[in-house]
Structures are given as C-alpha cells and as structure tokens.
Chain A
Amino acid sequence: MRHFLLFGLALASAGALQAQDPRLEGRLDPTTQAAVTGLLDSARAAGLPTEPIVDKVLEGMTKRASPDRIVAALRTLSTALRSARVALGPGAPEGDVIAGASALRAGAKPETLERISGVRGKAGLSVPLAVLSDLVARGVPVDTAATVIVHLAQGGATDADYTGLERGVARDIGAGAPPGAAAAIRARVAVTEGQSNGNGPPPGIPPKSPKEPRAKIPARP
C-alpha cells in the first residue's frame, strides 16, 4: 500500500513537472502561473499543441504585458487551437492545427479549413494556411484569400506554388495594385501555369482559351 502511495506521488510530481515548461519556471507570479498551468493541462487533455501557448507566454513576458493580458491572449489562442482541431480532425498534425488557428484568428471560417484539408489530404496545410493568413495581413479580403487558397488546392498547387503566390502578391501590392485584385490575378496565373504543367483547372476557373489566329490584313492593291 505504501509503495502504491509513493508511486502515485511520483506520478503526480512528474505530471506537474510536465505541465510546467522549464522555460517558464520562476518567471510568473503564482496566480498567472496557476492560470497558465491550467490552460496547458487543458490543451494537453484535448490533444492540442502546447508549444504555441508557451510561446505566447514568452512573447507576452518579453513585451512586458500584464499578467491579465497574457492570460486573455492564451484563452483566445486556446479557443482558436480547439476550433482548428475540430475543423481539421483529430489526426491533423500539430503544425496544421497551429496554422489553422492562425488562419481562424485572421478571419477564415472553419469550413475553409475543412475544404482545404479535404483537397490537400496528406500534403500538409501549414504553408497554404500560413499564406492565407499572410494574404489577409497584406490587406487581401479574407473571403478572397480563402477562395484563392481553396482554388489553388483544387488545382493541385504545391507548397512552392503557395509561397510563389505570396511573394508575387507582395510585389504587386508594393507596386500599387489593390490587394484583392493582386491575389486574384496571381492565383489565376498560378492556375494557368498549373494547367500547362498537366494539372487540370480547378472548379470555378474556366480553362485557358486557345489563341485565336490573328486576322490577316489585306495587302494594298
């Protein structure tokens, strides 16, 4: 009986140590520490990644944010992680869940995550969702950004296509193009190039029309 008690005590201590990230040790007041530990435990129990939560605490401490503000930010982040996990399914990799949470916080709808996940399959969602958040951050309306990302996924776009899109849109916006138009035009170009590489056009985007022969100008008499 005594051995069982000691074993249980050891397990509880190990659990507490696991809940307490070593990077946070001794850096938070007891109240904040308790709140953070509770959120980390809750995240672990739900199968959510805890690294973004620890990272958010570290960011808040470095920026000298108040404990209340740090805890509020953690709650918002935890909610987004939970929603992303639900949208992407229990088997989704942590990186996809983190990128999904970021996209949701950028304004994307859970259905958008589900659609991209359904099309991309095991190709990973981290880069497409990060580009979605990036486009919104650059001023592209969230609906336009989501549509572009989904269409590219349906066209078989690779991660390189997404990062290429992101850089192209950034250049166009820098040159003065409206963000929404820049994203739509770049997506169109990426899809057209995908077609020429053998990928079919995604639904909603008609195939590129063949070049019509130029009309002949009659020779002068």
Chain B
Amino acid sequence: MHDDHDELIGRVVDELRAPVALDPAFDARVMAAVRQAAPGRWRLALRWWIEPRPFRLSPLTGLAAAAALAGLVVLGARAFEPRPAGGAATAPAIIVASTAPGSEVVQFVLVAPQASTVAVVGDFNDWDPGRTPLQATAGGGVWSVNLPLRAGPHQYAFVVDGKDWRPDPAAPRAVTDDFGAPNSVIIVGGKST
C-alpha cells in the first residue's frame, strides 16, 4: 500500500519539477494587462486628495492651526471691506517725533487714489490750502506730509483737488462746525509732563 503511494507521490513530484513550456507572447500579454489596469498619474493624484486617511495632531497644534485659519479668514474679509465713496480712506494723523520742547512732528496721511492734489489746512497754517501740500507715494494714492506742530489741540481738514473738503474720518471731528465743513481735531503734546 505504501509503495503505491510512494510511486504516486514520486510521479507528482516529477511532474511539478518538469519545466513548463510557456507561450513566448505570454509575458507581453501579462504586462499589457497590468498597464491597462494601473491608474494614470492624474487618477493617482485625484485619489491622493479624495481618499480619507487618518492623521495625528496634538491639541496644541490643532488650536494653532484653527487660530491661523481664523486669522486668515478675518484678514481676507477685511481685504474685501467696502471703501468710502471716491476711493478715499484715511489713516489718522499721528505724532511721529518730538522736536523742540512744546512741539512735535505730526504725520498727516490721506489715501485718495483719484486725487490730483491734496493739502492739509488748519489753525497751524492759517487755513491756507497752498501752504502745506501732501506728497503722493511712488505708487500713488497715499498722500502724506510731516509737519511740526506746537503742543495743544489743533483743528484741521484735508482739501482734495482744491475744492473738496474732507475731515479725517479716523480722527474725532470738532464739536463745532461753524461753516458747514467739519474739521478734525488732534491733540499734540502730553508726553513729557
């Protein structure tokens, strides 16, 4: 009985050990089929984007990422905020330096892209539109001038194109408006006392 089995096993082994004769075009056919089944570069890229995958994130990193995202959203929203009519917006007059005691250099800035000329008038230059013109930046649109002013409150306004009176929207307006064209107010001083 055992001899019969041994003989059968021997024949199977011999059969398995015998070299298999393959069709010479077999390799080519297999490779063609594989290439056809493989996804293209674009499909792979798309799959990379849409296939869900788990990733690990610490709570701190997650918070930082959320804060950064919120910041980007806020900045983006501000970038699309509507501007005042005429394309003008202003930054408040700011004190940039102290000069002699009791006087400081104040920077007046007006953003007026469509303006041809801008001047600042006030109680510091006898309200003379020809005395203190603002200079436009190289890109245009942003007008500024630095002016030494003595300490104390000052009223001022911008004159655009020689006829358009504009108060500084970023500065408080003078309570009194005697002539129907409101002024802005800046208080110079109060640093050294």
Q: In this assembly, does B142 line the interface, its C-beta being within 8 Å of a C-beta of chain A?
A: no
Q: Which of B127, B151, B175, B193 contacts A59 (CB 8 A)?
A: B127
Stretch binding the partner chain, chosen from B5-13, B45-53, B63-71, B176-184: B176-184
Q: In this assembly, does A56 line the interface, its C-beta being within 8 Å of a C-beta of chain B?
A: yes
Of the listed residues B121, B128, B153, the one surrounded by the most CB atoms of chain A closer than 10 A to its CB is B153
Q: Is the CB of A159 within 8 A of B179?
A: no
| CB neighbours of A65 from chain B (8 A) | 178-180
Q: In chain A between 111 and 127, which residues have their CB closer than 8 angstroms to a CB of chain B?
A: 123, 126-127
Q: Is the CB of A136 within 8 A of B175?
A: yes
How many chain A residues have a CB neighbour from B under 8 Å? 40
Q: In this assembly, does A87 line the interface, its C-beta being within 8 Å of a C-beta of chain B?
A: no
> Chain A residue with minimal CB distance to B175?
A106
Given A55-B123, A160-B191, A126 and B153 contact (CB-CB distance below 8 Å): yes
> Chain B residue with minimal CB distance to A106?
B175
Q: In chain A between 20 and 71, which residues have their CB closer than 8 angstroms to a CB of chain B?
A: 23, 55-56, 58-63, 65, 69-70
| CB neighbours of A95 from chain B (8 A) | 152
State the main secondary structure of chain A at its contact with B: helix
Given A60-B178, A99-B153, A126-B153, A134 and B127 contact (CB-CB distance below 8 Å): no
Q: Is the CB of A62 within 8 A of B172?
A: no
Given A58-B127, A99-B152, A127 and B190 contact (CB-CB distance below 8 Å): yes
Stretch binding the partner chain, chosen from A162-170, A188-196, A205-213: A162-170
Q: Which of B123, B175, B187 contacts A127 (CB 8 A)?
A: B187
> Chain B residue with minimal CB distance to A59?
B127
- Provide 12 A-B residue pairs closer than 8 Å at the C-beta atoms, listed in order of the A residue: A55-B127, A63-B179, A65-B179, A65-B180, A106-B175, A126-B152, A130-B152, A133-B185, A137-B174, A159-B191, A160-B192, A163-B191
**3 shortest interchain CB distances as A-B pairs:** A163-B190, A130-B153, A159-B190
Q: Chain B: residues with CB nearer than 8 A to chain A?
A: 121, 123, 126-129, 151-153, 155, 165, 172-176, 178-181, 183, 185, 187, 189-193
Q: A63-B127, A163-B187 are in contact. List 5 more A-B contacts (CB 8 A).
A: A59-B123, A63-B180, A107-B175, A126-B152, A137-B185
